[in-house]
Amino acid sequence: MYEVVEVKVREGGGVIYYSTNNLDLKLGDYVIIEVERGLDYGEVLSPREVILDKDVEHPLRKIVRKAVKTDLEKIKKNDKKAKQAFELCFKKIGEHKLGMKLIQAEYSFDCNKVIFYFTAKGRIDFRNLVRDLAAIFKIRIEMRQIGVRDEARLMGGFGPCGRPLCCTKFLKEFGAVTMRMAREQGLPLNPAKISGLCGRLMCCLCFEYPYKPDAERKKTDALKEDAEVKY
């Protein structure tokens, strides 16, 4: 068995289970974590829980430590560097006349690589762009093409409910959302009313959908009981 928490890796990374390494962690803590090539940082998104060996889907990495003051200062410094990297990459994309929309840039905690997130209608040959960027930054360059839902997750914002987007707070992955889910929950089928900032159907449509049959059954039973009492 392993004691784990869910950690969101950087701002643009995924949500992954990490071993607590016997550390006292709570929601919202920033932590320094093991990654494939060195160290990175993330935010704790869940309480501590115990999972069985069979439920570990990948080599379980450890949280090295809770982020201390110097770590947080380094993260802020990396954020500033990332903004400069974004501007430079944006300029280079224009020079190479590539049909891609740059969304965000991020440095890993140890500054061994810089990641550029972008959207595009199709495949993009960015090899020359990467060579130019590598010559400037002298570190590993990673280009990640993302979809519109990932773009909303990175950019953030608020949903019609007035709360931060689910994808920015706790969703580990995007599931399939269909119009049938809206129809069976009695919601308006106007896409403008049931679509999120990404322009796709809102992820929250699938939250209550699995429980809809039970809710309908209980409602029907309650109406029957009420009718019997009145009779």
Burial class of 42 by CB neighbour count within 10 A (0 to 12, 13 to 18, 19+):
buried
Identify the pLDDT of residue 15.
81
Which band of pLDDT confidence, cut at 50, 70 and 90, is reported for residue 82?
very high
What tens digit of pLDDT does each residue of 2-48 get?
888 888 888 767 788 888 988 999 988 999 998 877 889 999 988 88
Per-residue pLDDT tens for 186-216?
A: 787 887 788 887 778 888 887 777 766 554 5
In whole angstroms, what separates CA 216 from the centre of its chain?
33
Which of 109, 86, 104 has the alpha carbon at shortest distance from 37? 109
Task: Sketch out the chain's domains with CATH numbers.
Answer: 2-67 (no CATH), 76-146 (3.30.300), 150-211 (no CATH)
Q: What is the pTM of this model?
A: 0.72
- Average pLDDT of the chain is 83
pLDDT at 155 over 60: yes
